[in-house]
Copies of this chain bind each other. A is one copy, B any other.
């Protein structure tokens, strides 16, 4: 199962990178070059892959027309990383083993590149052709899911809650709130927007919504564990950076064994939520398992 998701993910990543290359402006000025530098610098393309896997689960026909929507999710993820890395925020000089955008270019460019990718994501989502199969009503609802997830109730709320407690010990409840905003919200939007576009029924959407809540937390807890016992060569991040920054994590609060148990349980619960689906959701099941067994 693990290999299956990894193959699927790798196939999706290739498609998304082809589409990103087509959609992004030619590198004819510094802003455009920096946009490409930031988004083409690796990345697992998890959110686009979850989006595509949900289209499969819900039986979307002709899903290739939605690749620009999937690519837009990666643009939003990248915008958030660029802004989070800025000196005034998390002040990270490296991202995926390369200088972060403000180090490779400068702060002004990094602020604008983040803004540009966020706007470009909306341009691309709203440029999806609608017709009798894919209605404009559903496109509006799907893009709105993404906008809400990226906003104050999602990613921005999570980042604000995170920097508000930088260097302080926080409760598991507060940490959960941060993770739900910073990570789970965009996973949720990737999956639910795909379900809406594929005309999933209410029962399917409820199941996917329950799945995705578990999935986002499981992913982030696994991240905390990798920060302790991961391999820097594989994760691309220095091991032990959370402890060094006195950052509260599931591991620092619960200990590594209980954190591992929590991630595993959440992934199992995520899979259990998909009972309403048959084999067509096999990639989403496989993804949940991979999320907590991964080494990068």
Contact = CB atoms under 8 A, between A and B. Distances in A.
A34 B138 CA distance: 33
A128 to B, nearest CB: 9
Contacts of A152: 25, 31-32, 35, 116, 119-120
A31 B156 contact: yes
A147 B116 CA distance: 10
Interface stretch (A40-48, A129-137, A235-243): A129-137
Contacts of A29: 160, 164
A157 B89 CA distance: 24
The 3 closest A-B pairs by CB, nearest first: A88-B107, A136-B136, A119-B151
Interface of A: 25, 29-32, 35, 83, 86, 88-89, 106-109, 111-112, 114-116, 118-120, 122-123, 126-127, 130, 135-137, 139-140, 143-144, 147-148, 150-152, 156-157, 159-160, 163-164
10 contacts: A31-B156, A88-B106, A89-B111, A116-B156, A119-B152, A126-B144, A126-B147, A130-B140, A136-B136, A136-B137
